[in-house]
Structure 1
């Protein structure tokens, strides 16, 4: 589990569409660094240290799992991506974005690339005023006094003016959803994505216990004989697991990510069972389904059949190696039919991962997370 830590950043701009520049920076920080917890008001201030257009400045509180050395690199990359061009000459200059790390927890950092607390923050009213809004009671690690007191003792007499326009705070996944279920075909990567999200967002994880099912290897060798006991045992186990874990969720309001949803039982049963067996199975399922908590977001990972077969071969489970593309297509068709009939009851997001390798490529993983955040 990654440790989330609090950092405070100062943002400034005096070129182009200033509010848009600040909002773009905030959005990229939310995508690439961590959750934005608070945003201060925007203040218009005269340029500091040189003569030019007025600046717009603000401060934000961010929860991140990056260590300081990674954080500064990400900040510099965001500045570059937003068009920041640093001059080799000394002194201050116009900029479309400037992002400074003011505080990182209560740490004192002196390295070649980073000094925290920011060495000039106490001299700058345009930094302290917005910072007081969101961190007034926080202690400055060196001065051992609150940020509010630091502002009171600041000798900067520059005029700063709050503007009425407000910046929008990107809502973190953990605030938008309490329970996310990730589904997909065999080999689509649902368990991998579930593990990765649980690690990043410190979520409680619910993984299907398919490996413990004694009927699964037997089913792949003799479908007709073992289909019904396989589906019934899966249904019973899924019901028990989700009931237990989601009951705790109801009690403690944890953020939960699951690599399956109970409805997959019906999808697979439709494919594997004979008509009379399916009718009996459906009666049992309908009684159970009423008792299961629905996810706040249902994600279906779409993966094309060729990639599915490659993934199945790569992970090397003996009993899966004879799965045919026609069987995978039936499963996909079952999911699509389920999605089409559940649009009114479930919040459904389909993510096409056919051209992505989110397990081994960080940018692909971030692309998937961005789709979930923006949905």
Structure 2
């Protein structure tokens, strides 16, 4: 998963349906740039530097994987998409929408096409007032002053008036937090950890990640599967029980729901593939004894990828002990999952084929996948 940064963007409009332009811009930013974390109140302010209608102004904080110049390019494209025309004069003028990057976390950039932090934000009350709503304690990386301090010291005497209208966060259209616990499952290399991380970050979920990387038997199993299969599966049985029981029992009042990159039933799927029949029967008895009281996920999402794509993903992440995984093994795991899911009619399952999607690198694919999951969420509640 790419590293993310929190950025702050100012929005303004003084032409046409100003509120709709602000909302459309926020919706487009969510689609093209990243998850919208916070939205300020809307403020009415007089035109600054020219004669014109009053502006509606707002600020938002956004989490993005993009670099500053990519964000700038996307914002300019959104402005054009919403009808903003090229300037007809050198000074300020009315516009349908105006989008400016104020902060890109604490980065300092001085280039011809982009200066960060925005060089004039400390002088403009119509920027500082809404920015205070979403970044009160954030410190200007050059001036080393909080937004609250900058607003108190600002010499701009413009009258700022709160408009009793609220902009909507686009992520609220997704209903994941209808659930307490969502499990993301899939074959080796399907992208379940990446997706769980992204959902956790974008939708304020408690993240539960499998601790497979710490298992000392996993590299040994890939070298000598027959010798280490039972030992490996038993170690996973114990570790998954300990982790999932601890994590599910510890409520986090500051999170909306839980998302995990595995479900404990994967132990049955993998053990059925890796163990001889007699050992599997013994293992299954132990499994049901251990997990009989463990909470089941409210929504189980299975990410299906074809074997060719799985191998490409496995190669890309470069784990040495996975380099010799055979196609036949991945095929058996996929079949094992699908067979298991068919035998669980009481589970709320959504199987999604992501073989032709790259939801890690392509935000459009990621949003498509969120919509597919969201459809399952909505449908199950009807």
- TM-score normalised according to structure 2 size: 0.70
Match of 1:260 among 245, 258, 262: 262
Deviations 1:304-332 (A, max 9, x none): xxxx2433665686663446979855642
* Aligned position for 2:326: 320
1:206 corresponding residue in structure 2 = 210
Aligned to 1:240: 238
* Offset, 1:96: 3.2
Alignment of 1:27-38 (within 5 A): 27-38=27-38
Aligned to 1:92: 92
Question: 1:341 aligned to 2:342?
Answer: no
Q: Secondary structure at the match of 1:126?
A: helix
Equivalent residues of 2:303, 2:354 under 8 A apart: yes
Report the Cα offset of residue 10 of structure 1: 0.9
Within 5 A, what are the aligned runs for 1:85-234? 85-87=85-87, 89-170=89-170, 181-184=183-186, 186=187, 189-190=189-190, 192-195=191-194, 198=197, 205-206=209-210, 208=212, 211-212=218-219, 214=221, 230=229, 233=231
Per-residue deviation, 1:278:
6.9
Cα shift at 1:342: 1.1
Counterpart CA distance in 2 for 1:319 and 1:133 is 51
Secondary structure at the counterpart of residue 340 of structure 2: helix
2:40–2:59 contact (8 Å) kept in structure 1? yes
2:300 is aligned to: 298
The 1:337/1:81 distance shift into structure 2, 3 A limit, reads: farther
| Equivalent in the alignment of 2:338 | 332
- Asked if the contact 2:184–2:303 (Cα under 8 Å) also holds between the matched residues in 1, the reply is yes
Q: 1:44 corresponds to which residue?
A: 44
Q: Does 1:352 align with 2:358?
A: no
Query: How far apart are 1:183 and its partner, in Å?
Result: 1.5
For residues 278 and 139 of structure 2, the distance between their equivalents in structure 1, rounded to whole angstroms, comes to 70
Distance 1:139 1:272, change over 3 A: closer
Structure 2 unpaired stretches of 5+: 202-206, 316-322, 378-382
CA contact (8 A) 2:184 2:196 kept: no
Residue 289 of structure 1 is matched in structure 2 by 291
- Which residue in 1 is equivalent to 2:369? 368
Give the Å deviation of 1:113. 1.7
Report if the CA contact (8 A) 2:309-2:355 is conserved.
no
**For the structure 1 residues 351 and 26, does the alpha-carbon distance in structure 2 shift closer, same or farther, using more than 3 Å as the test?**
farther
Alignment match, 1:55: 55
Stretches of structure 1 lacking an aligned partner (at least 5 in a row): 220-225
